[in-house]
Amino acid sequence: MNKLEVKRAGNAAEFSYDIIWEEGFEKLTEAIRSRKLAKGKICIISDSTVAELYLENLKEALQGLDTTITSFVFPAGEASKNLDTVKAAYSHLIEAHFERKDLLIALGGGVVGDLTGFTAATYLRGIDFIQVPTTLLAQVDSSVGGKTGVDFDSYKNMVGAFLQPRLVYMNMQTLHTLPDSQFASGMGEVLKTGLLQDAKFYGWTINHMDAIEERISPVLVKMVQKCCSIKAAIVEEDPKEHGVRALLNLGHTVGHAVEKLKNFELLHGQCVALGTIAAAYISFRRGMLTDEEFYEIRDMNVGFGLPITVDGLKSEDILQATKSDKKMEQGSIRFVLLDGIGHAVVSHEVTDAELLDGINCINGDLYDEN
């Protein structure tokens, strides 16, 4: 498989686009042309780190399209994922006379993808965009599914829109320049994906730990494709998160709280991995996971270079921060638990005491005190 179609037909929320896996940027021109996506100008949106590495390569690869190509580059990092950067992107597009028929390309990780998608969703009430994800996290999760948005003050993804990309094009070679910590962050979402839906894939991931950590290309391609097919099926069923899509938020309630309190000093996937341990602990205490399963979930983080505790935060503060997450519904938290490995379920009845228990389990300061 080097292509997967993400498709929903026959109602107002219909969409159809391909995810393509390649080992370079060269095939993107044909992919754009054959889908008739190059109707006008193109703006590549990227961050400073990715632009330095790949912007010229991509521009060169797109020369065959014979259209005006501009670029908008912002400083790398979560701190740029805000409305100020979106405003600067709008200014660039207005000054370059971008119209509704024109196209944006997100070249980068989840920050670039979320911000470009939101710009596309709102500029002139919506223009097309393509995802070209260059981090593991973006390839296995954020580039697929059409959630776009930015942070507001320190609130994660508080302002956003749903807009599916017209194409997701992955140059798998880009993973070879990714720093280890960013690769590990992507693994946080990979482990989450197996845990929530597919025990066999979760086991496969563990069995291929060495090859994954050595970034052996065919193994990475297989892993990314599996994550995308799991996510695509969920998004096709429930694009706007009225039901099953909520399962993709495994680890995110506590994860987002830690991310916020740590002022984005920890990476998104690291926080999701911590949040997944907390969720697994609550599940274990409810008898939904065995102790072996809980300890395996926790200890796999170590194998993949992910944290199992966070220092410098009070459990009570983490608990309070979960209350401002978007996953609240009529005052109660929509919390994702594990009813066995590979089977996530949503609960509205997780109490504060249970949450605190789960949070204490990842609070490194409590271990240091003993």
Q: Residues interacting with ligand GLY, by CB under 6 A?
A: 141, 145, 147, 245, 248-249
Please give the Cα distance from 155 to 217 (Å, whole number): 36
77 binds, options ligand NAD, ligand GLY, none, Cβ within 5 to 8 A by partner type: ligand NAD
Please give the Cα distance from 211 to 4 (Å, whole number): 24
134 binds, options ligand NAD, ligand GLY, none, Cβ within 5 to 8 A by partner type: ligand NAD
Tokens of 174: 């880009």
157 contacts ligand NAD (rule: CB under 6 A): yes
Binding mask 94-133 for ligand NAD (x = CB under 6 A): --------------xxxxx-x-------------------
Contact 41, 68 (CB under 8 A): yes
Contact 191, 300 (CB under 8 A): yes
354 binds, options ligand NAD, ligand GLY, none, Cβ within 5 to 8 A by partner type: none
139 contacts ligand NAD (rule: CB under 6 A): no
Please select the residue that binds ligand NAD; options are 85, 131, 174, 276, rule is CB under 6 A.
174
Give the residue from 217, 184, 224, 176 showing the smallest Cα distance to 201. 224
Strand (E) or helix (H) holding 294: helix 291-303
76 contacts ligand NAD (rule: CB under 6 A): yes
Q: Please enumerate, as own/partner, the contacts of 265-269 that have beta carbons within 8 Å and a separation of 24 or more.
A: 266/307, 266/310, 267/181, 267/182, 267/184, 267/185, 267/188, 268/78, 268/110, 268/137, 268/185, 268/188, 269/137, 269/184, 269/185, 269/186, 269/187, 269/188, 269/189, 269/306
What's the closest the beta carbon of residue 237 comes to ligand GLY, in angstroms? 12
Please select the residue that binds ligand NAD; options are 41, 192, 222, 268, rule is CB under 6 A.
268
62 binds, options ligand GLY, ligand NAD, none, Cβ within 5 to 8 A by partner type: none
81 binds, options ligand NAD, ligand GLY, none, Cβ within 5 to 8 A by partner type: ligand NAD
76 binds, options ligand NAD, ligand GLY, none, Cβ within 5 to 8 A by partner type: ligand NAD
Residues engaged in binding ligand NAD (CB under 6 A): 47, 49-50, 53, 76-78, 81, 108-112, 114, 134-135, 137-138, 141-142, 145, 147, 157, 174, 177-178, 182, 185, 268
